Structure 1
Amino acid sequence: MILLVDDRPENILPLKKILELHSFSVDTAESGEEALKKILKTDYSVIILDVQMPDMDGYEVANAIAGFSKAKDTSIIFLSAVNTDKKFITKGYTSGGIDYLTKPADPDILVLKVKTFHKLYNQQQELRAAQVSLRKEIDVRKQAQDELAERMQELQVVLASLPQMAFSVAPDNRIEYVNKHWFHYATDSTTFPTTHPDDDFWNDWTNSLDSGTEFIREVRLKALATGAYVYHLLRIIPIYQQGVLTRWIGTFTDIHPQKQAAELLEQQVNLRTNELLIKNMELERINHELQQFTWVVSHDLREPLRKIQLLNDTIKTKYLSNNPEASAYLDRSIQSSARMANLIKDLLAYSELSVPEPFQPTNLTDLLKELLLDFDELISQKEAIVTVDSLPIIDAVPTRIRQVFQNLLSNALKFAKPDQPPAIHISAERVDSKAIDSTPSATGDFCRITVCDNGIGFDEKFLNRIFIIFQRLHSQTSYEGTGIGLSIVKKNIDKHHGIISAQSRVNEGARFIFVLPIKQASSIPANEAR
């Protein structure tokens, strides 16, 4: 804004119109006192000041304005029609004026001067604003540097207190700080300790520098005192401030005792593994020999037993038909021979479970249909009712899974109630996991099969005994058997990577539940892979 000061309105009006025509905002004052009051309230870029005014002339006004800090950048142009001598012009400049024009002033010259001084005023304001902004920025940066220095000092105190080697690295890979432990492995604070030739990590460290990511590596450092290489865990993490990487903080942690312990443990594990392999091979050899022995003994014992049974029958028929007491004793001998023959047969079947046979898709429904034909006579004799739901096709060894159903059906028929026909129900459903109580699922990977009967049942407190070989819950005089059947069932289920359990109460029947995979991961049964 431009301020025109003149005690005569007729002088102010034409100057104001001229300046407004050049897009200047113009304010006026008709006395020095009025001008000073306005200058205290408003910023003016140029003041055009008449020299000859009553009460307070232009020189006095200019001297007063010079004392105002608010107007220190304001340019004063004197206008005078009387005081045109050199001494008055000089007085105008010494009073704080920038220019001195005599009336009548050339309007074009006056406008050019006003434009120049107005532009100068704006530039000075911009410069002053820039100076203020720069001063603020300098203060902020100085404060930030002070805070950074304080934080760096705190960081160095923390690093100095660590039991590990600690250091900080600038973004340009220059080491800034190291603690006292550093000098156990390095001669100065500007270079990294010497590492083992096989532990070159500089390329990876360079990649971490470029990407600004954490770096972790096991390295061996050469100790200055002994010259030995000591295992350390090197960890260097980036420190960011407002998204800018400012430095890296690193530590070398001594892990030599742990490495030695791990190496010793690994040696012991390898030693024990080799010993176990040798023992396992020896065990397999002994087991193979035992299987052969069992098979040979079982096979060779069956022939003499058949001869004993045949001879006993011949003696009873030809020579003891008139001697009831001798026939009774001979019948007991024949029955004992029969029990021994069954025992040998079951032992032979149990030993044959170790013979490898591959899994193959097996239709359990068809398998059970064929199996029930073998039980047809016994089922008719006992007037049993056997119902079989639709069973799935699973990966199995057909002969072995047949043994499972054969023994379970045989038990269900054997342990029937004397006064009630046996009722046996076989069902299956897909489940989502290998668990007896698993949740049914149409797309599950396992099959849960249940064999229920209405027989005499058993007390569940004996559940952990029924699948152990030769364990019996009833006397031989009450129920025939060798105590091997459920052991064969359990072993077959194990070899199919399945599980089996049972639920029962005395005189309330029994439920045998087993869970098998639909698809086998291996083509060889469990415990048979070499």
Structure 2
Amino acid sequence: MILIVDDRPENILPLKKILELHDFAVDTAESGEEALKKILKSAYSVIILDVQMPEMDGFEVANAISGFSKARDTSIIFLSAVNTEKKFITRGYTTGGIDYLTKPVDPDILALKVKTLHRLYMQQQELRSAQESLRREIDIRRQAQEQLAGQVQELQVILASLPEMAFTVTPDGRLEYVNEHWFRYAVDSTHLPVTHGDDNLRTDLDKALACGTEFTREVRLRDLSTGEYRYHLLRLLPIRQQQLVSRWIGTFTDIHPQKQAAELLEQEVALRTRELRLNNAELERTNHELQQFTWVVSHDLKEPLRKIQILNDHIREKFLKDNNEAVSYLERAIRSSARMARLIDDLLAYSQLSAPEVFKRTDLNALLAELLLDFDERIRQLGAVVTVDHIPALDTIPGRIRQVFQNLISNALKFVRPNVPPVIRISAERIATKAIDGEPDANGSFCRITVRDNGIGFDEKFLDRIFILFQRLHSQTSYEGTGIGLAIAKKNMDKHQGLISAQSRPGEGATFLLVLPLTQTPPTHPN
């Protein structure tokens, strides 16, 4: 803004019009006192000041302005129509004027001078603004440097108190600080610790510094006092300021005891693994011998039982026809020998379940149709109704899965209610998970097969017992059996990586639930 100071309005008006034509903002004052008040409130780039004014002339106003910090960059142009002598011009310059013009003034010359001085004023303001900004930046940097120096000092105190080797590295890879533990493995503070010949520490450090990322590795350092190489864990962390790495902080942690313990543990594990392999081989050999022994013993036990049964039959037919009491005792002996034969057969079947066999894709509907032919006479005698819904094809060991259904159907035809024809239904659905209560899923990987009957049922508090070898819930006189059938079914289901369970209430029948994978995955064994 331009300020025109003159005690005569008729002199102010033409000057104001000239400057406004050149796009200057113009303010006016009609006395020295008014001008000083305005200068205290506003900043002016140029003041056009009349020399002859009553009460306070232009020179006195200029002297007063020179004491104002707000106007230190303001240029003063004196105007005079009377005081044109050299002494007045000289006084104008000595009181702070930039120029001294006499009236009449050439408008174009005045406009050019004002433009030049206004531009100079604006440049000075920009310079002062830049200087102030630079000063603030210097202050901020100085404060940051002081803060950083304090943090470095605090960091060094912390590193010095650590019970392990600690150090800092400059961005260009030079060691900046090391604590006292450093000198146990390094000759001085400018060299890295002495490492084992196989541990190329310098190369690894250079790669880490180049990448600017955290670095961790094990390294063997030589204890300068004993010459022993000890395992240490090196960890190097970058410290960043404004996205740039300002320094690195590193530590060497002694892990020698842990490393030795780990090596001993590995040796112990390797030893135990070898022992386990030997034991497994011995167990397999023993198991094979046991199977052979079971087969031989079973065969040898069955042979005299057959002879006992035959001889008892001959005695009953030839010598005891008229002795009812003797016949009763003999029949009891025959029944006992028959149970013994069934028990031997079941034990033989159970012992053979551990033998490895191959899984095959099996049509369970065809398998069940064939199996039901074996029960055809029993079904006809009881007037039983057996329904088999569609079951998807599964990977099974056909002989083993046949045993499962054979035992379940046999039980359903055995444990029947008096005068109630058995009703047996076998159904299946695909489920999502290997769980007895898995959610149905048309694309599931498992199949849940349900075998439901309307027999005598049982109390579910005995559920855990029915799949255990030789466990029976009913007396031998009430229902025949050896108590092995469901144990065989359970072991066969385990061999198929499946599940078996049951739901029942006394007098309301029983429901056996089988869960099998559609596709068998061969089990993995450790080498």
TM-score (norm 2): 0.89
Q: Which position in structure 1 is the counterpart of 2:412?
A: 412
Match of 1:402 in 2: 402
CA distance in 1, matches of 2:477, 2:524: 36
Match of 1:121 in 2: 121
Give runs of aligned pairs for residues 258-269 of structure 1, distance below 5 A: 258-269=258-269
Corresponding residue for 1:471?
Answer: 471
2:371 paired with 1:371: yes
**TM-aligned CA deviation for residue 374 of structure 1:** 0.5
**Cα pair distance change 1:61/1:355, threshold 3 Å:** closer
User: What is the Cα deviation at residue 9 of structure 1?
Assistant: 4.6
CA offsets, 1:112-155, max 9 Å, x none? 33332222211111111111121222222222333333333333
* Partner SS for 1:387: strand
Q: 1:364 to 1:62 in 2, by over 3 A?
A: same
Q: 1:98 to 1:341 in 2, by over 3 A?
A: same
Quote the offset at 1:361 in angstroms: 1.6
Residue 79 of structure 1 is matched in structure 2 by 79
Structure 2 CA distance for aligned equivalents of residues 275 and 80 of structure 1: 120
Residue range with higher mean Cα deviation, 61-70 or 326-335: 326-335
1:337-377 CA distance string (max 9 Å, x none): 43333233223322332333211121222211111110011
Counterpart mapping for 1:99-118 below 5 A:
99-118=99-118
Question: How many Å apart are 1:333 and its aligned residue?
Answer: 4.3
1:425-451 CA-to-partner distances (Å, cap 9, x unmatched) read 323232222222333333322222232
* Distance apart, 1:320 and its partner CA: 5.0
Alpha carbons 1:495, 1:527 under 8 Å: kept: no
Q: Which residue of 1 aligns with 2:148?
A: 148
* 1:186 corresponds to 2:186: yes
For residues 426 and 412 of structure 1, what CA distance do their matches in structure 2 show?
A: 11
Q: Secondary structure at the match of 1:465?
A: coil
- Where do residues 295-444 of structure 1 align in structure 2 (5 Å cutoff)? 295-318=295-318, 320-321=320-321, 327-328=327-328, 330-444=330-444
Q: Could you tell me how far apart the structure 2 residues matched to 1:419 and 1:218 are? A: 81
* Conserved? CA contact 1:3–1:26, under 8 Å: yes
User: What's the counterpart of residue 34 of structure 1?
Assistant: 34
Matched, 1:164 2:139: no
Report SS of the residue matched to 2:52: coil
Relative to structure 1, is the Cα distance of residues 136 and 313 closer, same or farther in structure 2, using a 3 angstrom cutoff?
A: same
Does the aligned pair in 2 maintain the 1:356–1:528 contact within 8 Å?
no
8 Å CA contact 2:184, 2:223 repeated in 1: yes
- In 2, distance between residues paired with 1:420 and 1:53? 138
SS at match of 1:441: coil
Q: CA deviation at 1:191?
A: 4.0
What does residue 235 of structure 1 align with? 235
Using the alignment, how far apart are the partners of 1:183 and 1:527 within structure 2?
A: 52
For residue 46 of structure 2, what is the aligned residue in structure 1? 46
CA contact (8 A) 1:346 1:485 kept: yes
CA gap 1:529/1:502 in 2 versus in 1, 3 angstroms: farther
Q: Note the residue ranges of structure 1 that are not aligned, 5 or more in a row.
A: none
Output the CA distance in 1 between the equivalents of 2:514 and 2:228.
62
Task: Write out per-residue CA displacement over residues 227-272 of structure 1, whole angstroms, 9 at most, x where no aligned residue.
Answer: 3232233333344445554444333333222222222122111111
CA contact (8 A) 1:48 1:77 kept: yes
User: Structure 1: how far apart are the matches of 2:230 and 2:296?
Assistant: 63
| Aligned residue identity for 1:488 | I
After superposition, the Cα gap between the structure-2 partners of 1:31 and 1:455, relative to the gap in structure 1 and judged at 3 Å, is: closer
Contact 1:430 / 1:440 at 8 angstroms: preserved in 2? yes
1:225 is the counterpart of 2:225: yes
1:94 aligns with 2:94: yes
1:450 aligns with 450
1:424 Cα deviation after fit: 2.6
Q: What secondary structure does 2:395 align onto? A: strand
CA contact (8 A) 2:51 2:78 kept: yes
Q: 146-155 or 200-209, which moves further after superposition?
A: 200-209
- Distance in 2 (CA, whole Å) between partners of 1:12 and 1:511 is 116
Provide, for residues 178-216 of structure 1, a one-character-per-residue CA deviation record: whole Å limited to 9, x for no partner: 333333333444444333343446666555545543333
The CA RMSD over aligned residues, in Å, is: 3.1
Contact 1:391/1:428 (<8 A) preserved? yes
Q: What secondary structure sits across from 1:23 in the alignment? A: coil
CA contact (8 A) 1:31 1:53 kept: yes
Q: Does the 8 A contact of 2:77 with 2:99 survive in 1?
A: yes
Distance 2:331 2:52 in 1: 163
Aligned to 1:283: 283
For the structure 1 residues 477 and 106, does the alpha-carbon distance in structure 2 shift closer, same or farther, using more than 3 Å as the test? Answer: closer
Instruction: Note the C-alpha offset of 1:304.
Output: 4.5
Quote the Cα distance in structure 1 between the aligned partners of 2:261 and 2:524: 34
- Tell me, yes or no, if structure 1 residue 251 matches structure 2 residue 251: yes
Aligned partners of 1:330 and 1:17: how far apart in 2?
A: 149
Q: Given residue 292 of structure 1, which amino acid in structure 2 is its aligned partner?
A: Q
Confirm or deny: 8 A CA contact 2:222 2:230 kept in the other structure: yes
Structure 2, gaps ≥5 residues long: none
C-alpha contact 2:195 2:201 (8 A) present in aligned 1: no
CA distance in 1, matches of 2:172, 2:34: 65
Secondary structure of the residue aligned to 1:38 is: helix
TM-aligned CA distance change 1:330 to 1:18, over 3 Å: closer
Hey, what's the Cα distance between the residues in 2 that align with 1:459 and 1:25? 107
Structure 1 length as normaliser, TM-score?
Answer: 0.88
| TM-aligned CA deviation for residue 275 of structure 1 | 0.7
Q: CA contact under 8 A between 2:78 and 2:99: conserved in structure 1?
A: yes
Distance 1:335 1:43 in 2: 129
Structure 1 position 497, deviation (Å): 0.5
What's the offset of the Cα at 1:527?
10
SS at match of 1:251: strand
- % of aligned pairs identical? 72
